[in-house]
Structure 1
Amino acid sequence: MTPRVAVVGCGHWGQNHVRTLKEIGALAALSDADPAKAAALSERFAVPAVALDALLADRAIDALVLALPPSLHGPTARRAFAAGKDVLIEKPIGLDAADAARTAHAAAEAGRILMVGHVLRFHPVFERLEAAVGEGRVGAVRHIVSTRLGLGRFLGMDAVWDLAPHDLSLVLRIAGEHPSSVDTLRRTVLSDETDVADIALRFPSGIGAEIHVSRVSPFRDRRFSVIGTEGMLTFDDLAPEGQKLAFHGHKVWREGAAFAFRSADADYLDTEPGLPLDRELRHFLECVATREAPRTGAEEAVETVRILETASPRKAA
């Protein structure tokens, strides 16, 4: 049987969860602090709008998707675990590493599924890139570069916490280990918080990574590159279909006391179709049904918050 899921928090991204779960056939209820918004979505998607306390008490609800302000993710998830629910929490799962660790511990103690909504991990182009790296297409990985630039999204949270979780989840997956150092250059440009940031990561194996995020860029850029000893792969999310994943057989080698290089034209790799959110939610439903650990589970969720906290310490309330 398909697990019965309720969405808690029906803002912009929460509504995407509502729509997608409805299409899958797993949406059982929704909940929002704004009764008018909940009622409108209830009518639109033909599912009941239910208060949070009632959802937690309803044994027919198997799992929750939380798309709340991040400060509410931890406390709400811990209540859900205590009530016997599995939970997918939108990123970030908390605003400090200690709170994130408490949430992970609560899930483990209750024997419940905790999954974090790092949706780009389920993008078919990233999955193909990950497979190509695993196959040795770029040789030994030496460096990773992720760029997320655009205009907008001033949501009371700085650009590091709002934008960088996407990139961190991809970097951590390719690196396959936790960073040993995190250095950040942050700049306030047009708002009262960090608008632009450059994050440098170093991993124990020697792999390096850099993440560039901006919400005050005059142009959009969504590229993720893996640089290795035998070539380079780039996932360009804004490229046309059929050109989103490119392999460049660039090579650099030593010639005596100097270095030489050879560039190569792009070789575009075939990728599967599919919407990342649909794939993410189907994976969550499978984990709820089979009790398998999710691909974006508690360890990744806590480590991402730890890095974010290191990269951009939040102001005391």
Structure 2
Amino acid sequence: MAPRIAVLGCGYWGNNHTRTLKGLGVLAAVSDIDPARSAKFAADYDVAQISVDDLFASKDIDAIVMALPAQFHAQYAIRAVESGKDVLVEKPIALTVADGEAEIATAKQHGRIFMVGHILRFHPAFEKLLELAQSGELGKIGYIQAHRIGLGKFHGQNDALWDLAPHDLSMILALTGCEPTAVRGEGAAMVDHLSDFAHLHMEFPNGIRSHLFASRLNPIMDRRLAVVGDKAMAVFDDAEPWERKLTLFRHKVWQENGQIAFTKADPEYVPVQEGMPLTRELEHFIHCIETRETPRTNGEEAVSVLRILTKGTVSHPAG
């Protein structure tokens, strides 16, 4: 029997999860601390509305997708796994490393699936990029650069780093296979006391360096992840159409007579099968519920992201 999944949190991402789970035939209920909001979702998607307390107590719910403000994720995720529910928690899973570790420990103690909503790990273009990197097609990777900028939503609790960077940090961790040994962050606030811009510089034990730039106050939208190897370079650009989302550049750079020389190659557009990342993410969650397999985006990775965010956080009051 297919798992019965409820959505807790009837906001923007809750709506996306609700619609997708409905399409997958596993949506059992919706819940929100505001009954009027969950009632609207229930009517829109022809599904049961349930109070938060009843949600955790219900024997008819197998799993919960949590799309809450980040400051509430830890307490409700812990309550859910203690109630015998598997969970998918949106990013970030908590606002402190200690809370994140408590979530993971409790899920393990109760034998529950704990998955994190690092959605871009399920993007077909990133999956292909990871395949290229792991197969040696790019050679030895030395540098990874991520840009996630644009004019975006402003949150009263999270700055640009905590709001935007988890997406790219999850992908960078998958590419490097380890946590950075050094993290340095820079930020700036223009609108309020929270940083609207964030630069993150990371050094990894395997020699890889990485730079991440996140901004929600930029006139240009940029969604690029570039991976530089000694055989080739690749760029995942999510703003491009499907046929151009993943590009391979077989540029060559070498030293000759004490000088650095290079040749540029024409871009090669790598074929990528189209697919909705959220649908693929939730299909993976369902698979993990049914098989008890550890999710690709698990709690340990989410805590690694929290550690990086914590080390890279710089408070800059608005001037």
What TM-score does the superposition give when structure 2 sets the normalisation length? 0.97
- Map 1:196-275 onto structure 2 (within 5 A): 196-275=197-276
What whole-Å deviation, never above 9, does each CA across 1:119-169 have from its counterpart, x for those lacking one?
000000100111111121110111100000100211111000000000100
Corresponding residue for residue 23 of structure 1: 23
- Map 1:146-225 onto structure 2 (within 5 A): 146-156=146-156, 157-225=158-226
- Map 1:41-60 onto structure 2 (within 5 A): 41-60=41-60
Corresponding residue for residue 136 of structure 1: 136
Corresponding residue for residue 68 of structure 1: 68
Answer yes or no: is the 8 Å Cα contact 2:232–2:251 preserved in 1: yes
Instruction: Quote the Cα distance in structure 1 between the aligned partners of 2:266 and 2:190.
Output: 37
- Map 1:238-317 onto structure 2 (within 5 A): 238-312=239-313
What whole-Å deviation, never above 9, does each CA across 1:50-108 have from its counterpart, x for those lacking one?
01111111112100000111111011011111110000000000001011000110001
2:12 pairs with 1:12: yes
What letter corresponds to residue 81 of structure 1 in structure 2?
Answer: V
What letter corresponds to residue 238 of structure 2 in structure 1?
Answer: D
Task: Report the CA distance shift for 1:129/1:17 in structure 2 as closer, same or farther (over 3 A).
Answer: same
Which secondary structure does the structure 1 equivalent of 2:244 belong to?
A: coil
The runs of at least 4 aligned residues of structure 1 exceeding 2 Å deviation read: 189-192
What letter corresponds to residue 89 of structure 2 in structure 1?
Answer: I
Deviation at 1:314, TM superposition (A): 7.2
Which secondary structure does the structure 2 equivalent of 1:213 belong to?
A: strand
Deviation at 1:313, TM superposition (A): 5.8
Deviation at 1:111, TM superposition (A): 0.6
What letter corresponds to residue 153 of structure 1 in structure 2?
Answer: K
2:32 pairs with 1:32: yes
Q: CA RMSD for the aligned pairs?
A: 1.1
What whole-Å deviation, never above 9, does each CA across 1:171-203 have from its counterpart, x for those lacking one?
000000011010011111233210111101100
Instruction: Quote the Cα distance in structure 2 between the aligned partners of 1:288 and 1:314.
Output: 39
What letter corresponds to residue 149 of structure 2 in structure 1?
Answer: L
Deviation at 1:33, TM superposition (A): 1.4
Structure 1: stretches of 5+ with no match in the other structure: none
Instruction: Quote the Cα distance in structure 1 between the aligned partners of 2:16 and 2:238.
Output: 19
Which secondary structure does the structure 2 equivalent of 1:242 belong to?
A: helix
Instruction: Quote the Cα distance in structure 2 between the aligned partners of 1:175 and 1:256.
Output: 32
Corresponding residue for residue 84 of structure 1: 84
Instruction: Quote the Cα distance in structure 1 between the aligned partners of 2:190 and 2:133.
Output: 37
Instruction: Quote the Cα distance in structure 2 between the aligned partners of 1:215 and 1:111.
Output: 38
